[in-house]
Every structure is written in C-alpha cells, then in structure tokens.
Chains A and B, each alone.
Chain A
Amino acid sequence: MSHQTTIKTQIKDLDALKAACEELGLELCENEEQRMYSSRVVRPLVIKCKGPYDIAVNKQEDGTYALATDWWGGHVAQEVGANFSKLTQLYGVHKATKEARKKGYFVTRSVNAKGQPRLTITGRTL
C-alpha cells in the first residue's frame, strides 16, 4: 500500500449522474417540472422519480451540482437513499469508472464486506 485518501463526492459530471439515475430506474431530464408537496416548478435539470416528488439538480457557482427535493413521506428516500446516499454512491462509481477507463485502466466492480460498492482498478500503465 502507498497512501489512502478520503474524498467527499462532488457531482460535476452529468453523464455520470445520468448513468447513476438509470441504474436506479430514474430519468434525468432537461427543462422539466419538479413536483413537490405544494408546488410544481420547471427546472433546467430534474430527476423524475417514480413517487410523487422529483429531485432538482441545481448548478452551483463553483460548477458542481447540488441536489434538492421534498423529503416528506419518505418517497424520495425510498428511491435514492436517505440524503441521496444511493444516488451519490452510484454517481461516484460511474464517475470513477469513466475516469479510470479514460486512462486505459481496467475496472472491476464488486461489493465490500460492509455491503458498499467497491471498484478495483488495475492496468499495466498504473
């Protein structure tokens, strides 16, 4: 081993976010209505959920994207995890896979002992 690092995931790549959504059976849409408890607002980017509420994908000043939704009733949490946990995990998986493959590395996906997604990256040029 050489070094170990902890990263706080930031959503920057819409293609990776779209892949994460698709894996959860959701759709990332442009210029669509976000359904909330008491209103509906058209947003530039929305993740359409199967339940009654959707997720807004808001671009921030630093270029990253923030997710926002109505958590009432647990509907959204059921689909993407509490505090977007499942969605963020899968975004990280797809983003890391994409970056590693761009460099010509091999990527194997599995699950670790804690039940978390794990990627193993190998390659002759590592």
Chain B
Amino acid sequence: MSDKKIIIDFAEDGSLDMEGHGFSGTDCDKAMKAIEDALGVQTARRNKAEYSKAAGQRQTVRQ
C-alpha cells in the first residue's frame, strides 16, 4: 500500500494549503497539479528537501 498522500486545508480567507507527503523527487507535481489547477491560482510554493532527490538516485543506491 502506498504511503503517499495529499493533505488539503481550506482557510477562511478563500485560500487553501496543499501538501504532498511520502513522494519522492518531482512525483508530487504530477499528482497534485490537476487538483491545483482545478481549484484556482497558485500564490505560493515551497519545495521540501525530498523534492530535490531525483527518482533516478534510488536506482543508483540499489546497485
């Protein structure tokens, strides 16, 4: 079972915060983009440390 999840909190001022958990590299972009675009206009974004890890690095570690 995947540990990935997206959490969305809806604020009173009409904005919402959306956060990806358990994703690796840029996988979160694809998962979250459709929902982000459907909801409105992005006003801020913060990449976590995991975002910088490219998915390809996992294969290198396994070898």
Contact = CB atoms under 8 A, between A and B. Distances in A.
B2 A124 contact: yes
Nearest to A121: B6
Determine the main DSSP class of A at the interface with B: mixed
Nearest to A112: B9
* Secondary structure dominating the interface of B: mixed
The interface size bin for chain A is 35 or more
Interface string B8-40: 111111111111111111111101101110111
A2 B7 contact: no
Contacts, number: 149
B38 A9 contact: no
Interface string A84-110: 111011001101100110010000000
A120 interface: yes
Query: Which of B2, B9, B24, B34 has the most chain A CB atoms closer than 10 A to its own CB?
Result: B9
A103 to B, nearest CB: 7
A126 B5 contact: yes
Contacts of A86: 12
A7 B43 contact: yes
Interface of B: 1-2, 4-29, 31-32, 34-36, 38-48, 50-51
